[in-house]
Amino acid sequence: MTKQTTLKGSFSLCGKGLHTGLSLTVTFNPAKENHGYKIQRIDLPGEPIVDAVAENVVDTQRGTVLGKGDVRVSTVEHGLAALYALGIDNCLIQVNGPEFPILDGSAIKYVEKISEVGIEELNAPKDWYIIRKKIEVKDDNSGSCITILPDEEFSITAMCSFNSKYIDSQFASLDKMENFAKEIAPARTFVFVRDIQPLLNANLIKGGDLDNAIVIYERQISQEQLDTLADMLHAEHRDANNLGYIQHKPLVWENECTRHKLLDIIGDMALIGKPIKGRIIATRPGHTINNKFARQMRKEIRKHEIQAPIYDPNEEPLMDVNRIRELLPHRYPMQLVDKVIALGATSIVGVKNVTSNEPFFQGHFPQEPVMPGVLQIEAMAQCGGLLVLNSVEEPERWSTYFLRIDDVKFRQKVVPGDTLLFKVDLLAPIRHGISSMRGYVFVGDHIVSEATFTAQIVKNK
C-alpha cells in the first residue's frame, strides 16, 4: 500500500487478563491519518490516552507494559503485532482495564476480527522508514542481540536458546508480512513450570490456564508441588514423572515458541511509530532487548525524519535532459535539473550533478566554490514545475511561475562534485492553476536545503 490505512469499522474482543484475571474488553477503532496507535483506558476518570511508542514502555519483565503517569496498560504486544503486520497505520484502542485480554495467548483472534471489518486507505502517504545501513543493539548480560539490515520489504528472523531439552535451540523466519496470519499469528505464549511459582508469588498470571499458553514441564518436581500448582491454575493433576508439554491444545508447529517470540518482536516494533523496510535478525530476543532496539530506531528516525530518495544511477530515468527541455523553457546556464528518477501524482524526485564547470562558481566564490542557495531553490522549483506539468494535457503548452517562497532553510554547503537529489511534494490539489509544494534538496542522506513554495501554472500564448 502507498497510502496510510486504518480500520473500516470498530471491533471488540472480550476475555480475562493474563495477569489480573479480570474480565476485560478491548475495542479497536478507526483513526484519522497520522494518528498512529493510541491506547485509551476508558475505565479511569478522564479516560487517559497513552501513545503506543517505545518511550512510553515502563516494564518489559512479563510482556510490554505501556504507561503515562499512573496509567498502565500491559499485554499489548499481541494486538499491536496484528495491526503492524497487517499494515494498519492508525488506530485508537480502548480497554476497560489495566491489560488487554489474553484470549488464546496468540494474535489470531485480532487478525480474524481485522479481516472481518476490513482495512481502509486514507489520503496521507504511507510514511515508510527505509533502512540504509546496519543498525544493531546488544545486551552483553543476556547475550541478546537485534540487528536490522537493508531490505526491500520488512522481514524478520528469530533465533532462540531456552536451555531446555524440549526447546533448546529454535529458529523461525517470516519473509513476507502477508504470511503473518497463517505462519505467525496462531503462535501462543509459553511458560516453563519452573517459572510458574515465582509468577504466582508475584501475584501474576491469575488468568493463566492451559487454554491460553503452552506450558513446558521439563524439570521434575515433587508430586505434591505439581499438584499444588495444578490446583492454583485450576488444571487437572498429572504424574510428576511425565515430562513434556501439558497444555490442552497440541503444538501447532514444533518451533511454536520461537514463532511466538517473533510475534512479540513485531508487536514491539509497532512502537517505533513508522512501518519499516528492512530485515531484522534477532538472537535470544525478549521484550527488554526489543524495546531497547525500538528506542534506538526512534532516535535514528528523528535524526533522519525526512529520508533522502534512493538513487540508482544504473536505472533509466523517467525524464532525461532532452524531455526536460521539451517541458521547461530554461536553458544554459539556468536549466538546473538533469533528470527525473521518480514521478507520481503528488511527488517527484529529480537529480542534478554539480560540477566545477558551473558558471556561477566563477564568482561564488573563486577561492571556495559554493553553489548559491537561491539556485538550489530555483532547481527545486523547476522540479516542482515538472511535477505540476505532469498533471495537465499538452504540458509543452504550459509554464509555471513562482508566486511565493516560505520557510527556506539552508543546512550545509553544496560544492563541486555533489549530486543533488530534489524531492518535491504537492501540499494540496492544484486549484485555479495554483499549486503549493514542499521541497527538499539532499546530498547523500543529508538535507542541504528546503523550502515551501507556491507556483502558478499558465498556458503559453
Q: What is the per-residue pLDDT for 28?
A: 98
Tell me the sheet residues that pair with 130: 277
442 has pLDDT over 90: yes
Q: What is the per-residue pLDDT for 238?
A: 84
1 has pLDDT over 60: no
Query: Mind listing the domains of the chain with CATH numbers?
Result: 3-187+256-303 (3.30.230.20), 190-245 (no CATH), 321-459 (3.10.129.10)
Q: What is the per-residue pLDDT for 211?
A: 84
Cis previous bond, 365, omega within 30: yes
Q: What is the pLDDT of residues 302-341, one digit of tens each?
A: 988 899 999 999 999 999 999 999 999 999 999 999 999 9
Q: What is the pLDDT of residues 184-199, one digit of tens each?
A: 999 999 988 888 878 8
76 has pLDDT over 70: yes
Among 114, 117, 79, 99, CA closest to 25: 99
359 has pLDDT over 60: yes
- To the query of whether residue 364 is one of the catalytic residues in this protein, the response is yes
**Exposure letters 363-397 (e unless 16+ CB within 10 A, then b):** eeeeeebebebebbbbbbbbbbbbbbbbeeeebee
Catalytic residue (one of 234, 287, 304, 446): 287
Please give the model's pTM, rounded to 2 decimal places: 0.87
Residues in contact with 36: Cβ distance below 8 Å, sequence separation at least 6, in sequence order: 51, 52, 53, 89, 90, 273
Longest dimension (CA), the chain: 97
The larger pLDDT score, comparing residue 297 to residue 201, is at 297
Q: What is the pLDDT of residues 378-431, one digit of tens each?
A: 999 999 999 999 888 888 888 889 899 999 999 999 999 999 999 999 998 889
- To the query of whether residue 287 is one of the catalytic residues in this protein, the response is yes
The larger pLDDT score, comparing residue 28 to residue 457, is at 28
Whether residue 343 contacts residue 335, with contact meaning beta carbons closer than 8 Å, is answered with: no
Catalytic residue (one of 35, 304, 330, 364): 364
Q: Is 14 left (phi over 0), alpha (psi -120 to 50) or beta?
A: beta
Instruction: Compute the average pLDDT of residues 345-368.
Output: 95
Q: How far is CA 122 from CA 32, 35, 87, in A?
A: 8, 11, 12
Q: What is the per-residue pLDDT for 7?
A: 98
163 has pLDDT over 80: no
Among 287, 290, 283, CA closest to 161: 283
**Cα 329 to Cα 350: distance, rounded to the nearest angstrom:** 17
360 has pLDDT over 80: yes
Q: What is the per-residue pLDDT for 227?
A: 85
171 has pLDDT over 80: yes
Show the 3-state SS of the chain.
Answer: CCEEEEECCCEEEEEEECCCCCEEEEEEECCCCCCCEEEEECCCCCCCEEECCHHHEEECCCCCEEEECCEEEECCHHHHHHHHHCCCCCEEEEECCCECECCCCCCHHHHHHHHHHCEEEEEEECCCEECCCCEEEEECCCCEEEEEECCCCEEEEEEEECCCCCCCEEEEEECCHHHHHHHCCCCCCEEEHHHHHHHHHCCCCCCCCCCCCEEEECCCCCHHHHHHHHHHCCCCCCCCCCCEECCCCCCCCCCHHHHHHHHHHHHHHHHHCCCEEEEEEEECCCHHHHHHHHHHHHHHHHHCCCCCCCCCCCCCCCECHHHHHHHCCCCCCCCCCCEEEEECCCEEEEEEECCCCCHHHHCCCCCCCCCCHHHHHHHHHHHHHHHHHCCCCCHHHEEEEEEEEEEEEECCCCCCCCEEEEEEEECCCCECCEEEEEEEEEECCEEEEEEEEEEEEEECC
Q: What is the per-residue pLDDT for 395?
A: 86
> To the nearest whole percent, how much of the chain has pLDDT over 70?
100
164 has pLDDT over 80: no
Q: How far is CA 299 from CA 35, 140, 182, 395, in A?
A: 20, 21, 33, 43
Q: How far is CA 167 from CA 160, 191, 208, 218, 283, in A?
A: 9, 12, 21, 10, 15
Q: What is the per-residue pLDDT for 13?
A: 98
| Residue pointed to by grid coordinates 476518570 | 45
Q: What is the per-residue pLDDT for 392?
A: 86
85 has pLDDT over 90: yes
Q: What is the per-residue pLDDT for 278?
A: 97
Q: Is 66 left (phi over 0), alpha (psi -120 to 50) or beta?
A: beta
φ/ψ (deg, to 5) at 34: 60, 20
**324: which 3 cell numbers?**
526536460
